[in-house]
Amino acid sequence: MWLRLKKCLNNVHKLTMIHDQGIILINKDSEITSAAVVAQVRRLLGMKRVGHCGTLDPFATGVLPVVFGRATGAVPYMSEYDKEYRCQIQLGARTDTMDREGEIIARPPDSYDAAKLEDRPYIEQTLNSFLGEIRQQAPLYSAVKVAGKPLYKYARQGEEVERPWRTVKLHAVKLLDIYYREGEELPCLDVLFSTSKGTYIRSLADAIGEKLGSYAYAAELERTACGPFTLAQAVKTADLFDRFDKLACNSKAFLSASINAGIVQATLTAFAGFPTLAVGGSDAVRLAHGQESKLMADDISLDTLTFTYKDVLLAVGSVNQGLAKVKRVFVDSSAEFLRESSKDEGI
């Protein structure tokens, strides 16, 4: 049986929502951990099954996708997202945390020629030298775990430990501005980075400063995009709590109102760009039960795609010689819209 494959595109049309799952894009404030944001959303929704994709450092701001209900099953796929960051790189000092939170551990010599730091072509050439694949070592102050213990705990206890390395990719870099921050003798670079998953922007700022010979640290860091999700779609938790308070702190009413207001994204939006296959009612029921189903011609094979019914994400799976196999189910097999399809088709 042939069914038409298409790409799942975010926000092309209003997707059908299931009220027990979804994605809320938070515009994270500074000085709060990503885990604390999850705890806040958990309180708003009155749910335990809440998580996030892509940890942001406490000092960082910007897009933090928070998932709830069965949408938490999308996190392994969302973790592969490319990211976009806007970073204010302060030249003239290196800190032990590679950001504004740390102690200054190095400064350039008095003989350093600071005039070249205002030379835009020179700065752009230096930034462009980091394009492509680069090797990064996990920052000393980070949540990366070694032997089950976060690196920042080793650092605070003064313990030496081998920090892991990883290969990441810098897809694009754009110098937006060179300016002076109040009280600083050397300029600050306003830079937009497009990166692969797992890139340490603090480490990148530190490496840029080292290459310039001036040292540097990340003074401000904002994630402007996480996969298909952008800052324009994100909301502040303070605004969510205002909405929550006006609804007498009723979690069900809050969720319903947030869905109606477009604050909650359908789980399917997490798979923007994936091949997607819309199936009929009988196939939808089988897939929702995790069963195999013959959907396509024998010569069609796909490693990963999404299966939908009535614009609802049913499952993520694969097709091998036309036979669909489920990897992860995203709906309850007893969901009302599936029961209706069973009745319609006499299943």
Both 112 and 243 in a single domain?
Answer: no
Both 156 and 208 in a single domain?
Answer: yes
Residue located via tokens 């036309």: 322
Q: Name the band, by pLDDT with cuts 50, 70 and 90, for residue 225.
A: very high
- Spell out where 32-179 has E strands: 50-52, 61-68, 83-91, 94-95, 104-106, 132-137, 145-146, 149-150, 165-179
Neighbours of 289 (CB within 10 A): 14
Over range 269-297, report the average pLDDT.
90
Say which amino acid occupies 79. Answer: S
pLDDT digits (tens, 9 = 90+) for 24-60: 999 999 999 999 999 999 999 999 999 999 899 999 9
Predicted confidence at residue 6, as pLDDT, reads 60
Q: Is the pLDDT of residue 67 over 70?
A: yes
143 falls within a domain: yes
Q: Name the band, by pLDDT with cuts 50, 70 and 90, for residue 247.
A: very high
CATH number for the domain that contains residue 327: 2.30.130.10
Joined together, the tokens standing for residue 183 give: 């009280």
Both 103 and 207 in a single domain?
Answer: yes
pLDDT digits (tens, 9 = 90+) for 86-97: 999 999 999 999
CB 197 within 8 A of CB 81: yes
Question: Measured between alpha carbons, how far is residue 11 from residues 8, 15, 228, 264 in Å?
Answer: 9, 8, 10, 12
Tell me if residue 110 is catalytic. Answer: no
Predicted confidence at residue 120, as pLDDT, reads 97
As a three-state string, the secondary structure of 282-322 is HHHHHHHCCCCEECCCCCCCEEEEEEEECCEEEEEEEEECC
Enumerate the β-bridge partners of residue 190.
Answer: 88, 177
Over range 106-119, report the average pLDDT.
95
Both 209 and 88 in a single domain?
Answer: yes
Domain region containing 329: 273-345
Residue 41: enclosing H or E segment and its boundaries?
helix 34-45
Q: Is the pLDDT of residue 10 over 90?
A: no
Both 42 and 104 in a single domain?
Answer: no
Both 139 and 182 in a single domain?
Answer: yes
Nearest by Cα to 200 from 134, 128, 103, 156: 134
Over range 262-266, report the average pLDDT.
95
Predicted confidence at residue 281, as pLDDT, reads 85
Q: Is the pLDDT of residue 344 over 60?
A: no
Q: Is the pLDDT of residue 66 over 80?
A: yes
Both 63 and 114 in a single domain?
Answer: no
* Alpha-carbon 192 to chain mean position: 16
Predicted confidence at residue 145, as pLDDT, reads 83
pLDDT digits (tens, 9 = 90+) for 174-214: 999 999 999 999 999 999 999 999 999 999 999 999 999 99
122 falls within a domain: yes
Predicted confidence at residue 220, as pLDDT, reads 98
Q: Name the band, by pLDDT with cuts 50, 70 and 90, for residue 7.
A: low
Question: Measured between alpha carbons, how far is residue 21 from residues 61, 90, 192, 255 in Å?
Answer: 25, 41, 32, 10
Predicted confidence at residue 249, as pLDDT, reads 97
336 or 48, greater pLDDT: 48
Both 300 and 197 in a single domain?
Answer: no
196 falls within a domain: yes
Q: Is the pLDDT of residue 21 over 50?
A: yes
Q: Is the pLDDT of residue 83 over 60?
A: yes
CA gap 281, 346 in Å, rounded: 10
- Looking at the structure of the chain, the number of domains it has is 3
Q: Name the band, by pLDDT with cuts 50, 70 and 90, for residue 332.
A: confident
Q: Is the pLDDT of residue 130 over 90?
A: yes
Both 127 and 167 in a single domain?
Answer: yes
Over range 115-124, report the average pLDDT.
97
Q: Name the band, by pLDDT with cuts 50, 70 and 90, for residue 313.
A: very high
User: SS3 for 15?
Assistant: coil
* Phi, psi angles (nearest 5°) of residue 306: -105, 150
What would you report as the CA-atom Rg of the chain, rounded to the nearest whole angstrom? 24
Taking the model in full, what pTM does it have? 0.90
CA gap 127, 174 in Å, rounded: 8
CB 68 within 8 A of CB 100: no
Predicted confidence at residue 27, as pLDDT, reads 98
Give the active site residue among 20, 29, 57, 298: 57
Both 73 and 92 in a single domain?
Answer: no
14 falls within a domain: no
CATH number for the domain that contains residue 98: 3.30.2350.10
256 falls within a domain: yes
Over range 155-183, report the average pLDDT.
91
10 falls within a domain: no
CA gap 258, 267 in Å, rounded: 15
94 falls within a domain: yes
187 falls within a domain: yes
Nearest by Cα to 206 from 341, 61, 91, 301: 91
Both 191 and 324 in a single domain?
Answer: no
Q: Which residue among 265, 293, 328 closes a domain?
A: 265
Both 90 and 222 in a single domain?
Answer: yes
Name the average pLDDT for the chain. 90
Q: Which residue among 214, 247, 265 closes a domain?
A: 265
